[in-house]
Amino acid sequence: MAGTETHYTLPRPGFDQPPRLLIVVAPYYRDIADALMAGARAEIEAAGGSHDTVEVPGALEVPTAIGQAFRMANFDGFVALGCVIRGETTHYDTVCNDSSRAITLLGLQGACIGNGILTVENRAQAEARAEPGGQNKGGGAAAAALHLIALARRWGNSRRPVGFNKPESEAFRIAGTDKGPVA
């Protein structure tokens, strides 16, 4: 049982320049979301960072909002917050798996994300995990994002694309023109 075990927690990273994070929260269960946000905000502020918060309708929309902000805004990292409680249908599995998978894919593209979307069997489990004085999963998600930001800064914060790219010296040519090599 996880409640009786102790876990190692990495020391909070330090920053020369304060990090700026976006907290994206799905407040479907408002009290749970509020507790998660309180933990996340406290952790970010303890590290000297600042944060903005946006709300989205549900856990499936959290990664979409993070993806938009990653491409269009200037945040160092992101904290994904929400809660999915198992119901009577397979919708639970879809929401849990797809939101987690999308967050992972964004992380592999370079977004520094702490995933604090709770996936639980019942409300009591959610409350225990969300409470800042308890398991503080919101604070843990913020801490994860802060650690990833510290790594990105250590490694130069490059935003190189992932995948195969043409050498920069090659330009593509529009069919029927003589402007450069054919792509």
Q: What is the DSSP letter of 21?
A: E
Residue 91 annotated among the catalytic residues of the structure: yes
DSSP string, 139-170: HHHHHHHHHHHHHHHHTT---PPSS----TT-
DSSP string, 79-132: EEEEEEE--SSTHHHHHHHHHHHHHHHHHHTT--EEEEEEEESSHHHHHHHH-T
Place of tokens 């593509």: 172
Place of tokens 């970010």: 44
Cβ(47)–Cβ(147) under 8 Å?
no
Cβ(49)–Cβ(78) under 8 Å?
no
* Catalytic residue annotation: 91
